[in-house]
Structure 1
Amino acid sequence: MNTDPKSTPVSSGLPDFISLPEDNFGVLVENEMDERRLLWLVNRIGEIKLRKSAAKRGQYPDSPLFVSTLLRRFRLKVPTHVYAEVRAPLYRVYVLVLLDGSAVKVGMTGDWPRRAYDFVRSVKYRENLDKAVIALFDGEKSMAFDASSQSAAHAIEKEIKSIFASHGVESPYQRGLINYGCGGHTEWFECEAYAQIVEHLSRNGTGISLHASLTWKDHMRSLDAAAARKN
């Protein structure tokens, strides 16, 4: 495989990818910085080259493939402006309420509201995920509550799951409502428990609705601006 960056064409105009597919091209994405760097890389070298390289795992085929590993393979350095705006994560415990009122999802994240977008990602790379996520979840009832730290968020999440364990229901994946790759399939509860869950979470921090948190349009604008700077 030719990994010489000088021989790799640079696309012009808008980027080919403004969001990652469900499988992240077979690459481990742990945070927003990984996501931005991987998006930059696929738009730099193209999907075919990226997937071909990601398929080569060497003597440890089951080990995760990091974005940094791929960047070293192609001898590429991500420009600072790609990830300069990434801030330190603010950890939250969230509740996502299906629009049909059948179930609620409880979890913790350092990447809200992108965690909500995980449930609607598809091969439609240019889809406006703001519209997709609101078509799946109730934008006002779905909320995220601040936690003082990652460990605090984990503790709150664990407590909620323990208290409401008897209200557990099967994952909406079984009904084809979400993709399997989004994870968290054992963290769904009856909608009847929603009010109590929110009351419990509101004791620990300030809440913000999913509707008020939507950022996908801003994300697309930032990628367009990056493409304009490149050209």
Structure 2
Amino acid sequence: MPTPPVTTRVVRERDIPTDLRFELARLSERWLDGARERGFSMILDGMLTGAHPDCLLVIAYVDSRVVAFQRYAPVGTALSLDTMRRDREGPNGLNERMIVDLVEYASDHGVDLISLNFAAFRSLMDAGSSRGVVQQAAYRALHVLDPLIQLESLYLFNAKFRPTYQPRAVAFGSWLGLPTVIMAMVGMEFGLGYDRHRPLEPSLLPDRRQRAVVHPIR
């Protein structure tokens, strides 16, 4: 039996009707599966609550049913990927399809840059068989983090689109402060237990974590 075709729609968050907002929010909750939001370094809060009305969403449908969406934050004439959500039972290639369709949209709407995921430790991934002993040890150590974030999978996903790369850096006052900086960044990124003072993110839907319910702007 052939797979039904996937269609997409690109729309500003402020233009999404209330019923669709809740449909997207429910899809997001199913994707998170009870986990707290991750990705402090790139994800805005208040998704679909009206907090960021200028964000652009790419929504994917199969037979009029929402199966995935991505949200992008506008930065001047650029767009920066904020969130990727999909139905775990949906067809393969949904994220790739949405990105390709967004690129086509961008070319028609004056968007000159689309920023996707970070590619941490890209030089280790690029080195391939030419890695030295130290690089090979570091490469293997990266895979210890696979239960939390699969860095090589993320790198390979980005590579499909033949992107250019912009280096990023972290500034800190002293090498003595590095352990504290690392703990703070990891705690915020993954919502770990010692990050107790981080406020719960606004949400359209209440869940077992009793997150604040924020009604959409109408």
More strand by share: 2
With the shorter chain as reference, the TM-score category is: under 0.3
Q: TM-score, normalised by structure 1?
A: 0.20
Q: TM-score, normalised by structure 2?
A: 0.21
